[in-house]
Chain A
Amino acid sequence: MVAVLQIYLPIAEMSVDALLLVGVGFGVGWLSGLFGVGGGFLLTPLLILLGIPSTVAVASGANQTLGASVSGLLAQARRGNVDWQMGGVLVAGGLFGSVAGVQLFAMLRRLGQVDAAVAIFYVVVLGSVGALMVMESVRAIFRRRRHGAAHRLHNHSWAHGLPFKVRFRKSRLYISVIPPLAVGFLIGVLSAVMGVGGGFMLVPAMIYILGMPTAVVIGTSLFQVVCVTASVTFLQAIQVGGVDIVLTLLLLLGGVAGAQFGAAMGGKLRGEETRALLGALVLAVAASLLWDLLRVPAALFSVGPAF
């Protein structure tokens, strides 16, 4: 007999199997530890799949990502791997982005389009990021086989030609504040609508768009993720009322344990292989959500509370 421990979620207003949620948290935590990402992009769709309302899944997913990222941020800060100055600019953009994102979310809820909009955001964002990750890592694997690693301090891109230049000492960059503000803003919007931290997008953006050195990328992205998910939690709680603290804590209970095991295993994988696997996982999530949008729904009608 399988042990079932039913627990009532006060905000979702439903009874769920607590052990199942801890298990989901553990699984997602394990993968996030393995790949070094927050795992919000897996968690929120899984919660929706389990029957948690989209509003609660997104808001509590952001809250959970906050908890899951705190210890990583502390560890990175201790090692001096956080560019607080760059992080501050990203967070400033992220706070505005989260405000805009929660407004968008509240509007979509009024229109009754939250479910589809969340799914479309996931398909577009995960689909493109996953495809880029797989392509990039496959190219890197082949390049390494032929020549060995390429050496360059950072890529010079269009982002280096804009005005309002600021010197970021820790990142050894002299660039305009516009690209980090824009990147922060975009991640803030996605975080609010998708219930993710956005690390899986932020890290590549910091490397390829901002040209930050990889040593400070993880720590700085965690700083942005913690601040923006805190902001999203706050705004979702007061504006939409979807943060279920009982759900968050159950997921965290499994998540932090899983992350430690995943991280221990992740150390044994090579960077490019890890990235290719993560890209494949991201693509798989996007594909399953796309399938749900395209196939003829099992129930044509849906019923929800009126606002």
Chain B
Amino acid sequence: MSARRGWLLAAMLALLAGGFCRPAAAQTSELVARLSTERVAITTAFVGESILVFGSTEQPLGPGGDEVVVMARGPSAPFVVRRKVRVIGLWLNGPSARFAAVPSFYAIAGTRPPWQLLPEEARHQRGIGIDSIPLEFTGARAPGFRRALVELKRNSNLWQEDPSPIEIAGSRLFNFRLHLPSTVQPGTYNVEVMLVRARRVVATEQLGFVVERTGSAAEIEKVARGQPVIYALLCILAAAFAGWAGSVVFRRG
């Protein structure tokens, strides 16, 4: 823990030093933010990752002063939500709703809960807060489908709302730890850091990182998707060989 703190402090100091050394024009920037990494590798040992979002502001942060909101979004994909219905005593999938573009990952955090910082309209316009994520869907119209999707995403930790407040250090430094669960999808992730003053967003910084498969997991997935015939034959041979070799190794007597 202390090592992590030390690293964090060093990163912030470097950022600050960078800020002071800049020419006069850049000094007026209200908000500077960075990510601890811009690349997350999904290896066979991947169990999730946490990314540090950190930065500094010109005006003091905290009650009475400026506030910071961090919003992260993962790549979007279509999803189908199905409702189970009882058919002659058995529970089968019944009506369904198709959501064309569902962000695979979403996280929102602020120095205070964002709904306290911004008016409703501005919040919805910028998609701040899980209830503001635009979700167009076709099919069954009941409101339960959207709720079920939100619930599932929240329960699997892929959508996070105020997991923990953004920490403020020394009134002008802030940091937030973004936790990615092991089920994150590969793709490009956007992180938007917003500076809020008097219930208005006065400055934003667009950051991003890439989640990609690497190592054997990536190779296997690539072959399986790109050359399914070769992959299928390899699976057959590998299983047959493993079964034969295993029986030789473990043979008793």
**Contact residues of A with B, CB < 8 Å?**
6-8, 10-11, 13-15, 63-64, 66-71, 74, 112-113, 115-116, 120, 226, 230, 233-235, 237-238, 241, 243, 245-246, 248-249, 252-253, 255-257, 259-261, 264, 293-297, 299-306
Which residues of B lie under 8 Å from residue A69 when comparing CB positions?
243
Which residues of B lie under 8 Å from residue A245 when comparing CB positions?
220, 231, 234-235, 238-239
CA distance A6 to B83 in the complex (A): 32
Given contacts A238-B229, A301-B145, A306-B79, contact A67 B221 (CB under 8 A): no
Evaluate contact between A260 and B250: CB separation under 8 angstroms: yes
CA distance A120 to B89 in the complex (A): 12
CA distance A294 to B217 in the complex (A): 38
Given contacts A8-B217, A246-B220, A305-B80, contact A237 B244 (CB under 8 A): no
A-B contact pairs, 13 of them (CB 8 A): A14-B182, A66-B240, A116-B90, A120-B90, A230-B236, A233-B232, A241-B228, A256-B246, A261-B252, A293-B90, A294-B91, A301-B145, A306-B80
Give me 10 other A-B pairs in contact (C-beta within 8 A), A11-B220, A63-B236, A303-B81 excluded. Answer: A10-B213, A10-B216, A63-B235, A74-B244, A112-B96, A238-B232, A245-B238, A252-B239, A300-B83, A301-B81
Given contacts A301-B83, A301-B145, contact A264 B90 (CB under 8 A): no
Query: Closest CB of chain B to A127's CB: distance in Å?
Result: 14
Query: Closest CB of chain B to A74's CB: distance in Å?
Result: 7
CA distance A238 to B234 in the complex (A): 12
CA distance A45 to B247 in the complex (A): 24
Of chain B, the residue at the smallest CB distance from A120 is B90
CA distance A241 to B221 in the complex (A): 10
Q: Which of B46, B79, B229, B244 contacts A71 (CB 8 A)?
A: B244
Most chain A CB atoms below 10 A, which of B213, B234, B247, B248 = B247
CA distance A271 to B232 in the complex (A): 37
Which residues of A lie under 8 Å from residue B153 when comparing CB positions?
303
Evaluate contact between A8 and B84: CB separation under 8 angstroms: no
- Digitize B7-25: 1 where CB-to-A-CB distance is under 8 Å, 0 elsewhere: 0000000000000000000
- State whether the Cβ of B93 lies closer than 8 Å to any Cβ in chain A: yes
Q: Which of A15, A63, A297 contacts B84 (CB 8 A)?
A: A297
Which residues of A lie under 8 Å from residue B238 when comparing CB positions?
67, 245, 248-249
- Give the segment of B37-45, B65-73, B107-115, B169-177 that binds chain A: B37-45
Q: Which of B78, B89, B234, B240 contacts A306 (CB 8 A)?
A: B78
- State whether the Cβ of B149 lies closer than 8 Å to any Cβ in chain A: yes
The A interface is mostly helix, strand or loop, or mixed, namely: helix
Given contacts A8-B42, A297-B91, contact A256 B239 (CB under 8 A): no
Closest 10 CB pairs of A and B: A256-B246, A301-B148, A71-B247, A67-B243, A67-B239, A237-B232, A15-B182, A306-B78, A70-B243, A238-B228
Evaluate contact between A301 and B152: CB separation under 8 angstroms: yes
Evaluate contact between B148 and A14: CB separation under 8 angstroms: no
Which residues of B lie under 8 Å from residue A296 when comparing CB positions?
91
Evaluate contact between A14 and B183: CB separation under 8 angstroms: yes
Query: Closest CB of chain A to B68's CB: distance in Å?
Result: 32
Which residues of B lie under 8 Å from residue A6 when comparing CB positions?
45, 47, 182
- State whether the Cβ of B251 lies closer than 8 Å to any Cβ in chain A: yes
Which residues of B lie under 8 Å from residue A297 when comparing CB positions?
84, 91
- State whether the Cβ of B197 lies closer than 8 Å to any Cβ in chain A: no
Which residues of B lie under 8 Å from residue A115 when comparing CB positions?
93
Q: Which of B42, B77, B93, B225 contacts A302 (CB 8 A)?
A: B93
Which residues of B lie under 8 Å from residue A302 when comparing CB positions?
81-82, 84, 93
Which residues of B lie under 8 Å from residue A294 when comparing CB positions?
89-91
Which residues of B lie under 8 Å from residue A71 when comparing CB positions?
243-244, 246-248
Q: Which of B96, B224, B246, B253 contacts A10 (CB 8 A)?
A: B224
CA distance A30 to B210 in the complex (A): 44
Which residues of B lie under 8 Å from residue A70 when comparing CB positions?
239-240, 243-244, 247
Evaluate contact between B231 and A7: CB separation under 8 angstroms: no
